[in-house]
A and B are shown apart, each in its own frame.
Chain A
Amino acid sequence: MTPDLQSHPRVAPGCRLGENNQQRVLLMPERALRLNGPSLEIVERCDGNRTVQQIITELQQIYSKAEPKKVESDILDYLARLNDQRAIDFE
């Protein structure tokens, strides 16, 4: 499923950022996802206030050397994966 650009992704109940061996992780039921660079930038913005479109725009500014279309499709893929894992909801 492709996320709706106007929806507000939000970290799901019972999922939160933590730290393990000096690395940021997303803690969730029975698992933890290691976050680095872009994946951390994305998850930190899943606050229920920003829209998917806003997150894409902000990341395109941070990664201004990357192809904007590629940044957008990577973010959409990653958000869909997080949703499959029940780590985020679209509100």
Chain B
Amino acid sequence: MSTEISNPLALIAELTHRCPLHCVYCSNPLELQNRASELSTEIWTRVFHEAAELGVMQADLTGGEPLARTDILELIRAARTAGVYVNLITSGMPLDEARLAKLLDAGLDHLQLSFQGAREETANEISGTKAHAQKLRVLEWLKQVRVAVTLNFVIHRNNIDQIEQMLALTESSSATRVEFANVQYYGWAFANRERLLPTRAQLDRSIEILKSAQERLRGKIRIEYVVPDYYAKYPKPCMGGWGRKLMLITPTGEALPCHAAQIIPELRFDNVKDHSLREIWETSAAFQKFRGEDWMQAPCKTCDRREQDFGGCRCQALLLSGDPSATDPVCSLAPTRNKVDAILAAVNNAPPAETLTKPNWLYRINPPSSSALSPSLVVADEN
């Protein structure tokens, strides 16, 4: 393969699948891994060092809930010592003021706090648990310390009309950055897709609000938003291109080019327990599979945009067209775009009463317990 390989810039470290929330759009796979199969502190430490040597600048410590790991302080120290910028993406549930101080002492650079809505009842419904009040407490503690804070709002039909309240919540906090990311339809979100997709009118209004907020809050809060790509004309450059910028490590050590790659049946993944990160990045079959342009079909093969969007998302191509090498069906030039249009028509033509009815969510479950005695989330004392 003649494709030149650039070095990865970010490592997404899924430390665990354990999580106190049960969000209906969780990006974890439908089949969750238990605590006993998680990577050890030592292996993660080696992975962070290998990542820094490969040129990785940022590590995203995520999950599940990364704070469910009792060795989280050691992991933060290890990543920071390796020389990478340490992001923690958390629900804020297993946190108190003392633990927050320890995370910062260990070298945490940036804390991203997830929110399921601006109103308590919506947020609790989506997360399948009473989480919202705790998140508001975390926001107060964050005002007392010096750390970068991002609020992450995951947006969908049932909370997209609360964006102004979400902005107000952000402005009342110490966050300098906020993400409004519309749900992307994989995993649990794909299963709940018909209930999560906003209508076109909702989406247009939200973009209008966010654009004007970007102007108003310039220099105070950076606002980033991601639209549901079903509504886009061209696909997103998924992960910045397959095997170009990002590497994701699952709780058990499998190295993936993206969050959802395990759904592609023909891919085999290498494990960091058996190989170095460099070896995986440069030679693993899964990373090679859709790197560059050799795999592309028409119309991508000759499209002027192929270096901008890299053919879109492989997992979405599989989910919607059955072929992971096909043009991402959200592309207006894709032969299978009619499948996306049919879903949008169903969402946009439904009578309003129906879109407002409380849906029957399929909630994300807990990973299987390691043993009958082991609770799914353990928060223990740390040193």
Q: Do A and B come from one complex?
A: yes
Q: Which of A14, A18, A20, A25 contacts B148 (CB 8 A)?
A: A14
Is residue A21 contacting chain B, with contact meaning CB distance below 8 A? yes
Smallest CB gap from A16: residue in B? B109
Is residue B100 contacting chain A, with contact meaning CB distance below 8 A? no
Interface size, A (range): 20 to 34
User: What sequence of 0s and 1s flags, for each residue 4-46 of chain A, a beta carbon within 8 Å of any chain B beta carbon?
Assistant: 0000000011111011110001011110100000000000000
Smallest CB gap from B222: residue in A? A86
Most buried by B among A19, A21, A27, A80: A27
Known interface pairs A1-B218, A27-B85, A29-B110. Does A20 touch B176 (Cβ–Cβ under 8 Å)? Answer: no
Tell me if B87 and A18 are in contact (CB < 8 A): no
Smallest CB gap from A28: residue in B? B148
Is residue B167 contacting chain A, with contact meaning CB distance below 8 A? no
Is residue A61 contacting chain B, with contact meaning CB distance below 8 A? no
Tell me if A18 and B83 are in contact (CB < 8 A): yes
Give the distance in Å from the alpha carbon of A58 to the alpha carbon of B218 in the complex: 28
Tell me if A29 and B148 are in contact (CB < 8 A): yes
Tell me if B55 and A86 are in contact (CB < 8 A): no
Tell me if A13 and B222 are in contact (CB < 8 A): no
Is residue A49 contacting chain B, with contact meaning CB distance below 8 A? no
Number of interface residues of B (CB under 8 A): 22
Known interface pairs A14-B109, A21-B55. Does A32 touch B221 (Cβ–Cβ under 8 Å)? Answer: no
Smallest CB gap from B218: residue in A? A84
Tell me if B55 and A29 are in contact (CB < 8 A): no
Tell me if A20 and B218 are in contact (CB < 8 A): no
Smallest CB gap from B224: residue in A? A30
Shortest distance between the CB of B241 and any CB in chain A (Å): 17
Q: Which of B9, B57, B147, B221 contacts A14 (CB 8 A)?
A: B147
Shortest distance between the CB of A10 and any CB in chain B (Å): 11
Known interface pairs A1-B218, A18-B83. Does A13 touch B176 (Cβ–Cβ under 8 Å)? Answer: yes
Tell me if B57 and A18 are in contact (CB < 8 A): yes
Shortest distance between the CB of A89 and any CB in chain B (Å): 9
| Apart from A13-B149, A30-B150: 7 A-B pairs, beta carbons within 8 A | A14-B147, A27-B58, A28-B85, A29-B177, A30-B110, A32-B9, A32-B58
| Interface residues of A, Cβ cutoff 8 Å to B | 1, 12-16, 18-21, 25, 27-30, 32, 80, 83-86
